[in-house]
Chains A and B, each alone.
Chain A
Amino acid sequence: MVIETHDLTKVYGEKIGCEKICLSVGEGQIFGFLGPNGAGKSTFVKMLVGLIKPTSGTAKLLGAPLGDVAARRRLGFLPENFRYQDWLSGRELLYYHAALAFIPRHERVSRIDEVLRMVKLSAAADGKIKTYSKGMQQRIGIAAALISDPDLLFLDEPTSALDPIGRLEVREIITSLRDRGKAVFLNSHLLSELEMICDSVAIIKGGRVVEEGTLTELLKGRVEVEVTASQLNGSMERVVEGLGRVLSGADTSVLVELDNEDMIPVLAARIIEAGGKLYNLSRKKRTLEELFLGAVKGGEA
């Protein structure tokens, strides 16, 4: 595991930042961390990268206890409110970060060129950061986070300032890192983006994790199927009886909730038995947005 936390808690006076968070992230995994504003996402990330100290609980990053300086050589971090010395050029900033990451002097130039190519900033590398657009500043921030070729990368809202093409490019960078066995911890509000690339997610609300698991498992959820059928002998309610229930729809198109996956072929057989013509029987997949809204709204009176 590259991240392991046990009951990690941060309390500010009477206000809870994070409470008893237990998470595990493995190598080569893209992990999405979601939650509404003020839920404690940034607090959790800041504890892991060493900006704030936990009130209680323990954590290991890359096998080393939290706060281990040497382990940070294998860590990359793009802060949420990224801001850099804007009087430097992009290349100078990366040189500075390369030196801070103890990259050997003779490797710095080639590594800087490599990350500049990755974030597509080679042409603008010698311009001052203050002349960069917000999107370019985000790219140079990502480049600074990648400079040490980290095994674990924390990205806090990495695509918030990027256009759709930029987002696609960042997604490609992230997936290429996973392909190389690197782990990426993503904090983002862009649920559709996370859904495209994450292997696992955790949803945090009020400082506590309320959902956690692989995306595949979490999105499976209830078994809902959309059915389009005509010329049934009897109503759809009757056909579905004992298998589940009709949630919505009328006439030929309905949404049906089944008790389990095995009921899907049984439902198809019943429709045929009832003399119906089956035009469509498709399983409705939950979106991450539905999962997220269900998780953060659940329990609210």
Chain B
Amino acid sequence: MLTIARLTFKEALRKKILVAAIILSVLFLTVYGVGLHYATNAIEQENAQSAGRGMDDGPIAGADMMVESSKKLLVLLGLYFSSSIVSLLAILSSVGVVSSEIENGIIHAMMAKPIRRRDIILGKFGGYAAMLSVYSALLFLSVLLLNYFIAGAALGNVPLLIALFIIQPLVFLAVTLAGSTAFSTLANGIAAFTLYIASAVGGMLEQIGAMLNNDMLVNTGIVTSLLMPVDSIYRMIASLVTNVPGGSINAMFFGPFGAISAPSTAMVVYAILYLAGFVGLASFLFSRRDIG
């Protein structure tokens, strides 16, 4: 299994999609950094003007909270789009992890070796998971460092946040891997991308529903989260990032990027079980499949 994981990791590193993701991530971080710089200046100018107007203690405390919330919103923006990048990277890099090797015949010689089919699946998952984990952690830290150096925003719980952040692409990896054992590369790509869109839209609907106190929208979001729990993980991250005293007004401030309707810890457990379930499903489907 480790042999396959090592080779898969090396293979994942040389994929063009990873090069494209790195270039796009650098571009994203550059644009994000520039935006962060000007947004921070604007926030601080506004704050200085409020202080200059000689307001008493109450409004100044409110202004500070506004500055703090604005900075958190900027962090959330970075993390939301970073989550999208790593999720898409997970889908696009692993969409043909098994199917393309069956289609081009690379897997044939491997199948006659003294290895179990489930070890092939676990090895493939391990290789891609390692690449995605390193990539996600670096992207997450880049967003955090930009916020720290440009906006002066520091976060606590960084190891926990990174761990949660990494779960997102790994869930998509598990689903795409399972799809890759049963469908063609193209069909799997379409299915996984649709699931990604459904997850993002469902998450947004749930937040809007919470803002509007609309149960139907919230329930739609919950059902979507059960079908694809990645957005819930993002909301958990958002909840931890924006965890500042101030009541619901703060949560509302972050709009669809925040976590007005914050998921429970059980959702993280569910996401991990979901991930493991799909890796198990991939293993089951692959072990039953004829490799023609």
Residue numbers of A with Cβ under 8 A of B are 46, 49-53, 69-73, 75-79, 81-85, 87, 96-97, 99-102, 141, 144-145, 154
The interface residues of chain A lying within 8 Å CB-to-CB of B290 are: 46, 51-53
Residue numbers of B with Cβ under 8 A of A are 3-4, 7, 11, 14, 104-106, 108-116, 288, 290-292
User: Separation in Å of the A10 CB from the closest CB of chain B?
Assistant: 8
Q: For the complex, give the distance between the alpha carbons of A72 and B288 in Å.
A: 18
Report whether A81 and B111 are in contact in the complex, using a CB–CB cutoff of 8 Å: no
Contact of B116 among A69, A73, A97 (CB under 8 A): A69
The interface residues of chain B lying within 8 Å CB-to-CB of A102 are: 114
Q: For the complex, give the distance between the alpha carbons of A69 and B290 in Å.
A: 16
User: Separation in Å of the A157 CB from the closest CB of chain B?
Assistant: 13
The interface residues of chain A lying within 8 Å CB-to-CB of B104 are: 83
User: Separation in Å of the B161 CB from the closest CB of chain A?
Assistant: 35
Considering the complex, give the chain B residue whose CB is closest to the CB of A70: B114
Considering the complex, give the chain B residue whose CB is closest to the CB of A77: B112
Report whether A101 and B109 are in contact in the complex, using a CB–CB cutoff of 8 Å: no
19 A-B contact pairs sorted by A residue (CB < 8 Å): A46-B291, A49-B111, A49-B112, A71-B114, A72-B113, A83-B104, A83-B108, A84-B106, A84-B109, A85-B11, A97-B113, A99-B3, A100-B3, A100-B114, A101-B113, A141-B109, A144-B109, A145-B109, A154-B112
Which 6 interchain pairs have the tightest Cβ spacing?
A77-B112, A79-B108, A52-B290, A72-B114, A100-B113, A51-B291
In the complex, given contacts A53-B290, A72-B112, A75-B114, what are 13 additional A-B residue pairs having Cβ atoms less than 8 angstroms apart?
Answer: A49-B111, A51-B290, A52-B292, A71-B114, A73-B114, A76-B112, A78-B109, A84-B106, A96-B7, A100-B114, A101-B113, A141-B109, A145-B109
Q: For the complex, give the distance between the alpha carbons of A268 and B11 in Å.
A: 72
Q: For the complex, give the distance between the alpha carbons of A100 and B115 in Å.
A: 7
Report whether B113 and A79 are in contact in the complex, using a CB–CB cutoff of 8 Å: no
Considering the complex, give the chain A residue whose CB is closest to the CB of B123: A100
Known A53-B290, A85-B7, A96-B7; contact A69-B109, beta-carbon cutoff 8 A? no
Considering the complex, give the chain A residue whose CB is closest to the CB of B292: A52
Contact of B108 among A53, A70, A73, A81 (CB under 8 A): A81
Report whether A75 and B112 are in contact in the complex, using a CB–CB cutoff of 8 Å: yes
Q: For the complex, give the distance between the alpha carbons of A72 and B110 in Å.
A: 11
Considering the complex, give the chain A residue whose CB is closest to the CB of B108: A79
The interface residues of chain A lying within 8 Å CB-to-CB of B110 are: 100
The interface residues of chain A lying within 8 Å CB-to-CB of B115 are: 69, 100
The interface residues of chain A lying within 8 Å CB-to-CB of B106 are: 83-85
Report whether B111 and A82 are in contact in the complex, using a CB–CB cutoff of 8 Å: no
Considering the complex, give the chain B residue whose CB is closest to the CB of A71: B114
Considering the complex, give the chain A residue whose CB is closest to the CB of B115: A100
Considering the complex, give the chain A residue whose CB is closest to the CB of B11: A85
Considering the complex, give the chain B residue whose CB is closest to the CB of A87: B14
Known A52-B292, A96-B3; contact A81-B113, beta-carbon cutoff 8 A? no
The interface residues of chain B lying within 8 Å CB-to-CB of A52 are: 290-292
